[in-house]
Amino acid sequence: MERGQFEEIIRNKWVVFDTNILIKSFTSENFEKFKVFFDYLKNNNCEIVNFDLVGFEFTRNDYCPSDIAHKEIFLKKIGAILLNFNHAPDLLEEALEISRIYSHKGIQKGKISLVDCCLGALLKIYNKNIFLATLNHKDFPTILFDRKFIFPIDADDDIHTIAFYRFNNNKWATLKNDFDKIQQSQ
Amino acid sequence: MDNQRNKNNSLRQLKKYVDNLDRTKSITTRGNFEKEWRELKEIVEGAKRINKEQKWKEGNLKK
């Protein structure tokens, strides 16, 4: 999708970050390089929303209180409302359904991630308003999600390609239909 | 000792500060982006500095 075209649909929307973006931007080496990405979101009046499970992944490997505190402050400063299971009571159920489809289609074979399925479910539930920004493209397959736009960041250690994903209800309906047929035939 | 106490105090102040931010908005929409970005940079650099000191302390403890 062209940049201008994408900006028309992302303007005033919510963007949830995958953990990899937080991890990459929370380093003094990369931090300034990621400013262009935050600038882009700011210029399009996008709201960054935090998601509980992403917060868990971001801080789970820390034990030192000051490390944890710095990361928590970072998260709170970046994002608005913290989305969690209270905001979407069906989240786990939806995530489980997505995992069934992944399993059926051989996606993340044997390594289906709870957090990725929950992120997928979040995109499904808030489909009209929310986009996911991630650096990991295999975890959000285009048979289910639309990769709307790619935003490259030229950093010292690497070229980071952030992609914006949106849940596609039509793709979901087709996949679900195929899956239900199998269920019925058993 | 005093140094450690100062660090803990400034972390506590930072925590208090972020808890008082308008949590219905994010850094991109609160309206003070450049100022908040500079503050965020200090947080990232502070984390790196403390992390180094922590590793150094742990290294010394193991000796």
Chain A interface, Cβ < 8 Å to B: 26-28, 31-32, 35, 38-39, 41-42, 45-49, 64, 66-67, 69-74, 76-82
pLDDT band at B1 (very low <50, low <70, confident <90, very high): low
pLDDT (tens digit, 9 = 90+) per residue, A107-130? 888 889 999 999 999 999 999 999
pLDDT band at A29 (very low <50, low <70, confident <90, very high): confident
Local confidence band at A66 (pLDDT 50, 70, 90 cut-offs): confident
**Which residues of chain A make contact with B19, given a CB cutoff of 8 A?**
76
Bridge-based pairing of strands A145-154 and A159-167 is: antiparallel
What is the distance in angstroms between the CA of the first residue and the CA of the last residue of chain A? 41
pTM exceeding 0.90: no
A chain contacts of residue B45, beta-carbon cutoff 8 Å: 28
Between the alpha carbon of residue A142 and those of residues A33, A56, A172, B29, B47, the distances in Å are: 28, 26, 11, 30, 36
Supply the pLDDT for residue A88.
83
Closest CB to A28: pick one of B11, B14, B45: B45
3-class DSSP assignment, residue A87:
coil
Contacts with A47 from chain B: Cβ below 8 Å: 25-26, 28-29
In the predicted model, what is the mean pLDDT of chain B? 79
**Per-residue pLDDT band at A85 (split at 50, 70, 90):** confident
Residues of chain A neighbouring B36 (CB-CB closer than 8 A): 77
User: CB-CB: which of A27, A45, A74 is closest to B43?
Assistant: A74
In this prediction, residue B12 has a pLDDT band, given cuts at 50, 70 and 90, of: confident
pLDDT of B19:
81
For residue A26, which residues of chain B lie inside 8 Å, CB to CB?
Answer: 44, 47
Give chain A's mean pLDDT: 92
Please determine, for residue A12, whether its predicted confidence score (pLDDT) is greater than 90: yes
Report which of residues A97 and A86 the model is more confident about: A97
Q: Residue A42 CA to chain centroid, in angstroms?
A: 18
User: From the CA of A109, how many Å to the nearest CA of chain B?
Assistant: 36
Three-state secondary structure readout of chain B: CHHHHHHHHHHHHHHHHHHCCCCCCCCCCCCCHHHHHHHHHHHHHHHHHHHHHHHHHHHHHHC
The mean pLDDT value for B40-46 works out to: 89
Give pLDDT, residue B7.
67
Q: Are strands A14-17 and A130-134 parallel, antiparallel or unpaired?
A: parallel
Q: How many CB pairs under 8 A join A and B?
A: 90
Contact assignment for B29 to A64 by CB distance below 8 Å: no
Test A73 with B28 for CB contact under 8 angstroms.
no
pLDDT tens string A132-159: 999 999 999 999 999 999 999 998 778 9
User: Chain B residue closest to A62 (CA)?
Assistant: B51
The tokens describing B2, both together, are 């005093």
Does the pLDDT of residue B31 top 60, yes or no? Answer: yes
Task: Please determine, for the modelled complex, whether the ipTM score is greater than 0.95.
Answer: no
Asked if the model's pLDDT at residue A65 lies above 70, the reply is yes
